[in-house]
Amino acid sequence: MKTIYLDNNATTQVAPPVLEAMLPYFSQLYGNPSSMHSFGGQVGRSLRQAREQVAALIGASADEIIFTSCGTESDNAAIRSALHAYPDKRHIVTSRVEHPAVRSLVSHLAVQGYRVTEIPVDNLGRLDMDRYRVSLTPDTAIVSLMWANNETGVLFPVEEAAEIAENRGILFHTDAVQAVGKIPINMGKTSIDMLSLSGHKLHAAKGVGALYVRKGTKFSPFLIGGHQEKGRRGGTENTSGIVGLGKACELAAQNMQPENTKVKQLRDKLENGLLKSIPNSRVNGDRSWRLPNTTSISFEFVEGEAILLLLDEFHICASSGSACTSGSLQPSHVLRAMGVPFTMAHGSIRFSLSIYNTEDEIDFVLDKVPGVIEKLRGLSPYWNVDKMVCS
């Protein structure tokens, strides 16, 4: 049976052109890009091209791009750099719904004596901008807010938030791992100082990412070693991964229009079909201001993990939230922050699509999910007790 993959916010398949671009760097083009000889020099030229491709996707200059190993490293590098640049400032502002790459780091820093303010969101996952404005103080070293939520797809007004921070003389970083390649981004028209992205979220390989650092921004390297990345990130570059990331960014720019039309239409068909066919279900998050590929749907009185196990029998891949928090028995911290009722939060499933999904796949999912939910609710004492209300 064919696998129907609807978990693209966890990771994406490597696009065939990306794989094709990468393969030579595992064999005949194996030189070190920092070497003086021409054999390594040709690899160095490929890295420069990839840097330009990444920069073009987000409207930046090539010398503002630092290659990293992943989005988590990029997030860590940005936040730790800001704290190093302003050692007298001990305050960090973030949100209650950040990815663990940021959330776990600021929790760690809080133990070390930093003061952390987490801005709340409303029941649609929208950032409380009034609370954000009053949270900024002369002691604030950095603001770190995600551009798009990985579980609900809800977009934050990061450009507005960055402008507010800039007016207060505060550095601003955004974790844009889910946003890059799905929505248009032009860093030349924003006040954002640093932006993180990850290759495996946009059809490149795992193990490669990038950090945008605006020209003139104080920056201290997270990894100290050789002179790579102009001294901003030590370590021999992952040449195959970087070349693949460059190609993936080039493809993402070409696919931006289908991402926001075809993929969005498939997402809406899936979402509306499930809501129509399954009672006591709801969408989590703002349906008008979110990524085009993502929907988080709660099915009351069932467990998300049980839904995923039964879907897996049909080779349907989805998620109960962030892949980086799987294994926890607690409802998603994102849904808790949004005030999603307990009986709904436990039965939440995230479907995240890509340009490789088809209408036939969506039809198959719409055919199978209602039966899965009905079966599980038949086993649920809570559903049976409230059957008169639920029916």
Domain holding 304: CATH number?
3.90.1150.10
For residue 155, give its domain range.
16-254
Q: Give the total number of structural domains in the chain.
A: 2
Instruction: Examine the domain organization and report whether 73 and 185 are in the same domain.
Output: yes
Instruction: Examine the domain organization and report whether 218 and 315 are in the same domain.
Output: no
Q: Do residues 322 and 151 touch, judged by C-beta distance below 8 A? A: yes
Q: Is 73 exposed, middle or buried (0-12, 13-18, 19+ CB in 10 A)?
A: buried
The structure's pTM equals 0.94
Chosen domain end from 211, 239, 254: 254
Instruction: Examine the domain organization and report whether 241 and 278 are in the same domain.
Output: no
Digitized pLDDT (tens) for each residue of the chain, 391 residues in all: 899 999 999 999 999 999 999 999 999 999 989 888 988 889 999 999 999 999 999 999 999 999 999 999 999 999 999 999 999 999 999 999 999 999 999 999 999 999 999 999 999 999 999 999 999 999 999 999 999 999 999 999 999 999 999 999 999 999 999 999 999 999 999 999 999 999 999 999 999 999 999 999 999 998 888 888 888 998 989 999 999 999 999 999 999 999 999 999 999 999 999 999 999 999 999 999 999 999 999 999 999 999 999 999 999 999 986 444 545 557 789 999 999 998 899 999 999 999 999 999 999 999 999 999 999 999 877 676 555 444 4
Spatial distance between the Cα atoms of 94 and 85, rounded to a whole number of angstroms: 18
Spatial distance between the Cα atoms of 90 and 81, rounded to a whole number of angstroms: 13
Phi and psi at 195, nearest 5°, equal: -140, 135
Q: Do residues 256 and 63 touch, judged by C-beta distance below 8 A? A: no
Q: Which of 70, 249, 317, 324 is catalytic?
A: 324
Instruction: Examine the domain organization and report whether 113 and 235 are in the same domain.
Output: yes
Instruction: Examine the domain organization and report whether 320 and 345 are in the same domain.
Output: yes
Instruction: Examine the domain organization and report whether 315 and 226 are in the same domain.
Output: no
Give residues with Cβ within 8 angstroms of 114, minimum separation 6. Answer: 83, 90, 91, 92, 106
Q: In the numeric block, which tokens belong to residue 388? A: 């008169």
Chosen domain end from 188, 220, 254: 254
Instruction: Examine the domain organization and report whether 183 and 115 are in the same domain.
Output: yes
Instruction: Examine the domain organization and report whether 182 and 117 are in the same domain.
Output: yes
Chosen domain end from 254, 289, 313: 254
Helix (H, G, I), strand (E, B), or coil: what is residue 391? Answer: coil
Instruction: Examine the domain organization and report whether 240 and 353 are in the same domain.
Output: no
* Annotation marks residue 70 as catalytic: no
Q: Element (H or E) spanning 78, and its range?
A: helix 71-85
